[in-house]
Amino acid sequence: MKKQFRLGLFIFLTPVLLWLILLIVIPHIELLLMSLHGKDDMGNTVWTFANYRHFFTEEIYWYTFVRTAFYAITVTILTFLVTFPVAFYITKVVSPRFTGFLTILLLMPFWVSELVRVYGWMILLRESGVINHLLTSSGLLAAPVEMLYNDASMLMGLVYTSMLFMVVPLISSLEGLDDSLIEAAHDLGASPFTIFFRIIIPYAAPGITSGSIVVFMLALGNYLTPTLMGGKNSLWFTEQIYNEFIASFNWNQGAAFGFLLLLLSSLIIWGALKLSRQELGRALS
Amino acid sequence: MAPVLDIQNLRKQFADFIAVNTLNFQVEDGSFFSILGPSGCGKTTLLRMIAGFLEPSEGKLLIRGEDMTRVPPNRRPVNLVFQNLALFPMMNVHENIAFGLKRQGVAAGEITRRVGALLERVHLSGYDKKDISQLSGGQKQRVAIARSLVLEPSLLLLDEPLGALDLKLREQMKIELKKLQADVGTTFMYITHDQSEALVMSDRVAVMNRGQFEQIDTPRNLYSNPATRFVAGFVGETNILPVKVISKAPLKVQTAFGLELSGTHVGNFQGDLLDLFIRPESIILDPADTMEDINRFSLTVRNILFDGSNTKLLATVGTSDYELTVALPQNQQFAHIDKGDTVQAGVHVDSCRCYAGGER
């Protein structure tokens, strides 16, 4: 009996283990080793921490990282603020018959690739784009304005591309919220404000946590949107990694940056979980 | 002194359906008042209007003499124990009970004292730190009641809170609730479709049907003196026989299978089609010859429904096919009765209650 159980476990675990080891662990070990190598003055490959030292000594690197992390957190918060009312409306305000339909409507844009959606935004926002055309032809603007390639449009693009990953966990956690809990709180003397912060938010907390982790990671690791919508001076950390690998052909430095991104983002998530007193296991289950 | 609750011409109409139809009643301070009715009779709508979740279409609602018709639920001195209890799953027992007190801005020390005192009263001392998911059905029940009672409301509303419990626990909770009410002295208003819950616990019961009260009375009167056909049929078990009037004073009626009976009529009636109601326990087996004012007939036993102290006979009247349910007396006097036996039976004239015929 016990032996059978072990065999079954092994069979079901094999694909996961293969995936983890072949595609995650082995490449990362390779990257780790690469990040710890460098060339000395003679051009020989040697073990060194220089790649990591660079990150802290060269101001531009850690500045880019802090900026990226700060904006990724901002994107997460903005995404939550935008999607929470939507999720609440879909699950609690409209009749339950429409919940499924509205959810599908919300997910539809995400059947199109991110690249196409970002180009869509660019068509709208660029200097010769739709919005500028409308504004100038209606006389509101004398000359077209460049709306792309600034931080605001980049943030907007990132919020837009991450919305799906916030709204789905929010909907599924709010769906479980029984209306009578809200009524009970109201009956016990709570104002709508208190109901929101003491009942609805704590109830949805696991959904908010898992949504926030995914959105934060996606925003932090996003390359496409900052590059296309933020332009040359978007200074996103993934662009630094790309530059090291592709432009400077310095794979050792790129690997070190990749590892730093992994470590620092894990640290931020750990800190945020501690701050909000949430547990990773509960949020993802 | 003003009654705790004073309902004046209260009415609630949804699109094309009148849920509560112009009610007038009062609930006295410190009483256990029940509203008994089948599902869909409007009792939940009435309760939600009193709690403040629904606005009445017409009429006034006074609590301790103050008009509360337009006051939102969080500012009414009324608390509701929900049908599904609606305990907050992300809080422990203490936090659940303290929720209302915190909203009132009571000091932390005072909250701990009052929550502790109430937990003791509902026999849950030491459960403060438990999660809601760790409690049994009956314990959750008591936490939900404690959560409302801790606010010392003028009126505690209970919306079928025992519905989800199994039979044994429900019987136990019935007694506990009645004791608790007598103990704390808060006015309880209890909504149920279960007549035994209403009869056992209440001081007064209102029987509701189609948005209106058919009768407000003590449980005893409700059972022995039902005012309308609906109450007679809804409260307690009963045998219903469609009959035809032969003479009006004194009332004599005849059943479809030809049995003639003397009866008492309740309320006014026109026409000569009535319904005759006989309680199973008012049928006397082997009545003494000296008994007066009694309808006599013979019964043929078809079946014995053994249920301990609640054992009943299913028997046909005379040669007809009409089945009557007869309660067997508690003593073993009739233990010898078997299937197929024929016994003499009698019903006192006062126990043959005739009501105007319902829709059949």
Q: What is the DSSP letter of A127?
A: T
- CB B270, CB B256: distance < 8 Å: no
Considering CB atoms only, which of A178, A194, A205 is closest to B86?
Answer: A178
Any idea which of A102-116, A198-212, A271-285, B44-58 has the lowest mean pLDDT? A271-285
So what's the pLDDT on residue A282? 67
Q: How far apart are CA B184 and CA A280, in angstroms?
A: 45
| CB spacing of B53 vs A183 below 8 angstroms | yes
| Contacting A residues, span 151-180, partner chain B, CB-CB under 8 Å | 178, 180
pLDDT in tens, A131-151: 888 888 888 888 888 888 888
Question: What's the token pair of residue B276?
Answer: 């005759």
Nearest chain B residue to A181, by CA = B86
In angstroms, the separation between the Cα of residue B97 and the nearest Cα of chain A is 10
Nearest chain A residue to B50, by CA = A187
pLDDT band at A184 (very low <50, low <70, confident <90, very high): very high
B257 touches A: beta carbon within 8 Å: no
Q: How far apart are CA B250 and CA B258, in angstroms?
A: 18
Q: What is A229-244 written as a DSSP string?
A: HH-GGG--HHHHHHII
| CB spacing of A188 vs B88 below 8 angstroms | no
Give residues with Cβ within 8 angstroms of A93, minimum separation 6.
none
Choose from B80, B145, B151 for mutation: most chain A CBs within 10 A.
B80
| CB spacing of A184 vs B86 below 8 angstroms | yes
Burial zone of A1 (CB within 10 Å; 0-12 exposed, 13-18 middle, 19+ buried): exposed
- CB B87, CB B100: distance < 8 Å: no
- CB B54, CB B13: distance < 8 Å: no
- CB A221, CB A264: distance < 8 Å: no
Report phi then psi at B346, rounded to 5. Answer: -150, 155
Question: What's the token pair of residue B322?
Answer: 């009409």
Average pLDDT over residues A198-212: 91
Q: What is the 3-state secondary structure (H, E, C) of chain B?
A: CCCCEEEEEEEEEECCEEEEEEEEEEECCCCEEEEECCCCCCHHHHHHHHHCCCCCCEEEEEECCEECCCCCHHHCCEEEEECCECCCCCCEHHHHHHHHHHHCCCCHHHHHHHHHHHHHHCCCCCCCCCEHHHCCHHHHHHHHHHHHHCCCCCEEEEECCCCCCCHHHHHHHHHHHHHHHHHHCCEEEEEECCHHHHHHHCCEEEEEECCEEEEEECHHHHHHCCCCHHHHHHCCCCEEEEEEEEECCCCEEEECCCCEEECEECCCCCCCEEEEEECHHHEEECCCCCCCCEEEEEEEEEEEECCHHHCEEEEEECCCCCEEEEECCCCHHHCCCCCCCEEEEEEEHHHCEEEECCCC
Nearest to B232 by CA among B257, B360, B241, B258: B241
Q: What is A25-57 written as a DSSP string?
A: IHHHHHHHHHHTEEE-TTS-EEE-SHHHHHHHH
Reply yes or no on whether the pLDDT at A233 is more than 80: no
So what's the pLDDT on residue A241? 87
Neighbouring C-alpha atoms within 13 Å toward the C-beta of A211? 30
CB atoms within 10 A of CB B110: 10
B163 touches A: beta carbon within 8 Å: no
- What percent of chain A lies above the pLDDT cut of 70? 97
So what's the pLDDT on residue B265? 80
pLDDT band at B358 (very low <50, low <70, confident <90, very high): low
A205 touches B: beta carbon within 8 Å: yes
pLDDT in tens, B321-350: 888 898 888 777 777 888 888 888 889 888
| CB spacing of B79 vs A188 below 8 angstroms | yes
Nearest chain A residue to B73, by CA = A187
How much is the CA Rg of chain A, to the nearest whole Å? 24
| CB spacing of A180 vs B53 below 8 angstroms | no
pLDDT in tens, B38-81: 988 888 899 999 999 999 999 999 998 889 888 998 889 999 99
| CB spacing of B88 vs A190 below 8 angstroms | no
| CB spacing of B73 vs A183 below 8 angstroms | yes
Burial zone of A140 (CB within 10 Å; 0-12 exposed, 13-18 middle, 19+ buried): exposed
Mean pLDDT of chain A: 87
Reply yes or no on whether the pLDDT at A2 is more than 80: no
Q: Between A7 and B81, whose confidence is greater?
A: B81
Reply yes or no on whether the pLDDT at B237 is more than 80: yes
Chain B residues in contact with A194 by the CB 8 A cut-off are 103
Average pLDDT over residues B160-177: 86
Average pLDDT over residues B271-299: 85
Chain A residues in contact with B74 by the CB 8 A cut-off are 186-191
pLDDT band at B3 (very low <50, low <70, confident <90, very high): confident
Chain A residues in contact with B100 by the CB 8 A cut-off are 188-189
Considering CB atoms only, which of A180, A190, A198 is closest to B84?
Answer: A180
Give residues with Cβ within 8 angstroms of A184, minimum separation 6.
B80, B82, B86, B87, B88
So what's the pLDDT on residue B208? 92
Chain A residues in contact with B105 by the CB 8 A cut-off are none
Chain B residues in contact with A189 by the CB 8 A cut-off are 74-75, 100, 103-104, 151
Our CA dihedral for B231, B234, B240, B242, rounded to 10 degrees, sits at: 60
Q: How far apart are CA B163 and CA B191, in angstroms?
A: 11
| CB spacing of A205 vs B90 below 8 angstroms | yes
pLDDT band at B360 (very low <50, low <70, confident <90, very high): very low
pLDDT band at A216 (very low <50, low <70, confident <90, very high): very high
pLDDT in tens, A76-114: 999 999 999 999 999 988 888 888 888 888 888 888 888
Chain B residues in contact with A193 by the CB 8 A cut-off are none
CB atoms within 10 A of CB B60: 14
